[in-house]
Chains A and B, each alone.
Chain A
């Protein structure tokens, strides 16, 4: 009997120790610090964690309530990502950031049933922009179809507004992520009269000789890339090898970080990539980050990724989560908000220039607001270019808006298909 009591108290103690403190705001982070894609997963996870740590250390959490960061390793593996979700959904998790389109696709039906929130920032299922169907899924501030459209608009700008007869090739990761922009590019090709061709690269993308020989033989005018991990580095190196003009090679925002360009050395000079936000250390927030997080020895990683593109993206993702929780706290009138209240906060999110400046990030990203009809934000992006001599990315355009005339019908069709499949009656409120 005594042994039974002891065992029960040990089990209860363990459960209480692993569960969240009652007044904590639980923010899960589905990260990958191991495996083939760790190179890109680490800086993102560091940025996400460090910003939340800054909130805890400097501001005592959000609205006086501490944040409980729950990092779970997925290895960029969809099955592991789902396991992470299942193990964390009962902890009072407020917003899941899967950092994988494959994982996001698997979690969307679950989140809809469980009432948990997913924020797939700049990735995931594009039609989740339609909040009337995807009530718990948000993909602000931009999605892949925006990215495809922004890239094509930039190319049009380079070509004097006319793409008739031009050839644009998409080099894509042979996964849900890589295939996401195909439909949009096909529609854009019809509208603007360019010839579209897709070339797939299998995971992980270490060997791309066939693909680049095809590109060399077909001589496209531009190559767009939807790559991740080693695929990016190898593609940029192969492009340099076959002497493809680097200023006509444009990567989505997940193919445009320092990790992608540095290994190719001088050959990567001039390579372009889309950008959702700024990067570098030129923002006042970083002084606090240095003081409260890095110097205090509380950085998630070694502190050597601070200010890089992917670190900045992780930090921006965390910033948007924090602002959504603040909005939820205002709406609910309590600090200890739950997932349903945070969903309302995400839907009422309004990021202004003042919000960014107050967070020490003036001009870091465009202002935007979210609504029930639009969970995807404004769909704005910029184009950046790699300078191999200075070893840095520089923004070379202002904000470019996506072509909603093409994208909106695709979103409506895809979200209607999901609604029919899942038995959802679209609507707000």
Chain B
């Protein structure tokens, strides 16, 4: 097979894997939008905050230590223990549930029936607040995150493709792991949504707030639930992205990668987030490979949006989004 075809195949496979990583971020947006109509600008910062909390708990870091030391003149930074990864993940999930409760109690409970743009603005404020709290709580230094996720080239794929084509394909073990996690996560979310009482309530709220309220579904409970699930998804995304680059404040920018995925897949569809991620991942990687070298490279950031816009021309609600017709 010609080299260029093999290289393109390798790029396409890696694009699919990258797309899964984008989908993981996009899922958090979809969950909240579907249940509450809120476009959660803070989703990327939630991923950062969750990852910071996970590393902080694992390393036995004292939260707000810089603040405590500055006020009381102490010099404490660590508790002196290391928490096992699994326990740290459970504790972080609990922190994200607490966060969901606080968000509902102090922000969105007071904004029921407000215009979507007001709710969106509230999430912008939340994003900046959460970023500041994360900084105060855990510090701004870069943190190495090691929860045992495998990294580096997958030797099996490398040798299999080498034997078949005379060129070994590079697939990162971390990307393969992320794909498995995404599949499991989507399966759990779909099962939860279809087969549990809470899931049905969640869908009822998503369909019609007023009708759901009239049959006794607590809007407040559902919103806490959905923000908690989005917090958990943020933890998964933050952990996988954090394992790639270390946990640092640029992690919040992964949200930018999710936006074209949402535009393409639709804001209300979980499968849409996955399919949209895959299309964006493959599209941007192939474009960079085929066209990038001719136009100076670094095309991925903007090409993802161009691709999403092209889809929107033909299907404004996205591939899987709900077509909303409002009669005047």
Query: Chain B at the A interface: mostly helix, strand, loop or mixed?
Result: helix
Let me know if A297 is at the binding interface, CB within 8 A.
yes
Q: A209-B14, A302-B139 are in contact. Are A241 and B253 (CB under 8 A)?
A: no
Which of A174, A209, A230, A297 is in CB contact (< 8 Å) with B298? A174
Given that A210-B11, A210-B289, A263-B144 are known contacts, is A202 also in contact with B300, CB under 8 Å in the complex?
Answer: yes
State the Cβ distance, B165 to closest chain A Cβ, in Å.
13
Q: Which residues between 211 and 270 of chain B lie within 8 Å of chain A, taking CB atoms? A: 241, 244-246, 248-251, 253-254, 257
A51, chain B: closest CB distance, angstroms: 20
B63 contacts partner chain A, Cβ-Cβ < 8 Å: no
* A33-B140, A200-B298 given; A210·B285 CB < 8 A: yes
Report if A202-B298 is in contact (Cβ < 8 Å); known contacts: A34-B135, A241-B153: yes
Closest chain B residue, CB of each to CB of A240: B152
Cross-chain contact A34 with B151 (CB below 8 angstroms): no
Give residues of chain A (201-217) contacting chain B, Cβ–Cβ below 8 Å. Answer: 201-204, 206-207, 209-211, 213-214, 216-217
Contact of B245 with A237 in the complex, beta carbons under 8 Å: yes
Contact of B7 among A35, A199, A217 (CB under 8 A): A217
Q: Given A233-B142, A237-B151, verify A262-B246 contact (CB < 8 Å).
A: yes
CB <8 Å contact, B170 and A234: no
Q: Is A242 an interface residue (CB 8 A)?
A: yes
Bound complex: CA of A198 vs CA of B73, how far in Å?
50
For residue A206, give the distance in angstroms from its CB to the closest CB of chain B.
6
User: A323-359 CB contact bits vs B (8 Å, 1 = yes)?
Assistant: 0000000000000000000000000000000000000
* Chain B residues whose CB sits within 8 angstroms of the CB of A207 once the complex forms: 18, 21, 257, 300
A42 to B11, CA, bound (A): 36
CB-nearest residue of chain B relative to A198? B297
CB pair A237–B153 under 8 Å, yes or no, is no
Interface string of B6-22 (1 = CB under 8 A from A): 01001100110110010
Q: How near does chain A come to B71, taking the closest CB pair, in angstroms? A: 12
- Interface size of A by CB at 8 A reads 43
Given A241-B151, A242-B170, CB of A202 within 8 Å of CB of B73: no
Question: Which chain A residue has the least Cβ–Cβ distance from B142?
Answer: A39
A-B pairs, top 7 by smallest CB distance, nearest first, are: A263-B246, A200-B298, A36-B250, A230-B250, A210-B288, A200-B297, A174-B298
| Residues of B participating in the A interface, judged by any CB pair closer than 8 Å | 3, 7, 10-11, 14-15, 17-18, 21, 66, 69, 73, 77, 131, 135, 139-142, 144, 146, 151-153, 170, 172, 241, 244-246, 248-251, 253-254, 257, 284-285, 288-289, 292-293, 296-298, 300-301
Please name 22 pairs of A and B residues whose Cβ atoms are closer than 8 Å in the assembled complex, sorted by A: A33-B140, A36-B248, A36-B253, A38-B140, A39-B142, A42-B141, A200-B298, A204-B250, A206-B241, A206-B245, A206-B250, A206-B254, A209-B14, A210-B300, A213-B14, A213-B285, A229-B250, A241-B170, A243-B153, A263-B142, A263-B246, A265-B146
